[in-house]
Amino acid sequence: MFVDYWKSPALILTFTILKLLFYTCPLYRTYEFINRFADDLDLKLFGQHIAAHSILKAVEGFMSNANPKKPLVLSLHGWTGTGKNFASQLIAENIYKEGIKSRFFHVFSATHHFPHPKQHLQTYKVWKGIADCERSMFIFDEVDKMDPKLMDSIKPYLDYYDKLDGVSYQKAIFIFLSNEGGDVIAQTALDFKKAGRRREDIKLVDLETPLSRSLFDNTQSGFFRSSLISKKMVDYFIPFLPLEYNHVIQCVKAEMKTRGILPNPDVAERLAKDLVYFPKSERIFSTIGCKTVDKKLHFYL
Ligand SMILES: Nc1ncnc2c1ncn2[C@@H]1O[C@H](COP(=O)(O)OP(=O)(O)OP(=O)(O)O)[C@@H](O)[C@H]1O
Ligand SMILES: [Mg+2]
């Protein structure tokens, strides 16, 4: 009798509906995604023409491919407060109907989730979630502080495997964030400035060589000592430029808009002027980018 009960068509239907409601990932359709994502990057991510273009092309291409052979793996680099987390959130906001609140958007931080070097990522139940949503996103923050062994334990998930423990990771997106390479990116931006060239004229090729040299020469960072790098698991290394005074102004105005306050140029200028800029003599780039602008705003209103 018990067996018959479980075979009841009504019950099977109820379970199927419940599973569809709770265990599938509501995604935007690709055509909805592409235009809005481009607009979002254009309007919301300030001063990052290289990162915006690279991220758009990489994610757009990946999401348009119904059968990718491997997950998309991006590594975002740059000075603090330049928008690495912010850009990752923009991706999630445009992919998932529930945005960054989606249970398929996972953020791991080296210092928060893995304070002990021996901690193993495989123990994380989060991997199982991918069975419900192949288009899951995994952000690894502060990867330069992660243990190489920990990073190596992610390797199988990034590879060309059809299935791992019965689930496929080929449609997932992995994003690594770090400040690694921030110095050389800033130096290149400074060299352009000093040569009287426009920031918008900096091209990815201008940064590729100095960035990769600085990453591969790094003997301290767990991420760069891990085999993820030597095995070429990363599809794109994406540089974030240091932000200038005008970008900080844009960030303050955006924050005011988010709070429903009319963007006030005077408030934005006073706040932006109070930040510290480098190099000391020229005061070109904000040392904290746009970080903490949201917290500071209160004092200038
Ligand atoms: N380029 C940007 N365009 C728009 N807003 C930005 C930009 N950079 C930073 N911000 C704002 O500043 C906040 C902090 O930036 P974010 O956390 O993305 O920096 P980060 O590059 O991840 O820095 P860190 O290396 O310190 O983690 C963001 O939530 C966003 O509001
Ligand atoms: Mg960050």
**Of 49-53, 131-135, 214-218, highest mean pLDDT:** 49-53
Tokens 């290149």 correspond to 188
pLDDT at 117: 57
Residue 167 has pLDDT above 80, yes or no: no
CA of 193 to the centre of ligand 1 (A): 22
CA of 179 to the centre of ligand 1 (A): 12
3-class DSSP state of 278? strand
Query: In this structure, what token pair is assigned to residue 50?
Result: 């290289």
Residues 6 or more apart whose CB falls under 8 angstroms from that of 235 comprise 58, 72, 73, 74
Q: Which candidate, 90, 39, 28, 113, places its Cα nearest to that of 63?
A: 28
Atom 25 in ligand 1: which residue has the minimum CA distance? 80
CA of 134 to the centre of ligand 1 (A): 28
- Contact present, 98 and 127 (Cβ < 8 Å): no
Q: Which candidate, 227, 222, 230, places its Cα nearest to that of 117?
A: 222
181 lines ligand 1 (CB under 6 A): no
pLDDT at 10: 73
- Residues 236-243: what's their mean pLDDT? 97
Atom 19 in ligand 1: which residue has the minimum CA distance? 81
Mean pLDDT check: name the lowest of 2-11, 75-84, 146-155. 2-11
The better pLDDT of the pair 198, 13 is held by: 198
Other C-beta atoms closer than 10 Å to the C-beta of 144 total: 20
**Residues linked to residue 278 through DSSP beta bridges, in sequence order:** 285
287 lines ligand 1 (CB under 6 A): no
Atom 7 in ligand 1: which residue has the minimum CA distance? 83
In angstroms, the CA 228 to CA 252 distance is: 37
Q: Residue 279: is the preceding peptide bond cis (ω within 30°)? A: yes
Other C-beta atoms closer than 10 Å to the C-beta of 271 total: 20
pLDDT confidence tier of residue 221, bands split at 50, 70 and 90: confident
pLDDT confidence tier of residue 118, bands split at 50, 70 and 90: low
Residue 229 has pLDDT above 90, yes or no: no
Backbone CA torsion sign across 129, 59, 91, 87? positive
For the chain, the domains span 30-182+206-240, 245-300
What single letter denotes the amino acid at residue 71? P
Q: Which is the closest atom of ligand 1 to the Cα of 288?
A: 26
CA of 84 to the centre of ligand 2 (A): 6
pLDDT at 237: 94
Enter the CATH code of domain 30-182+206-240: 3.40.50.300
**149-158 residue pLDDT tens:** 777 888 888 8
**29-58 residue pLDDT tens:** 888 888 999 999 999 999 999 999 999 999
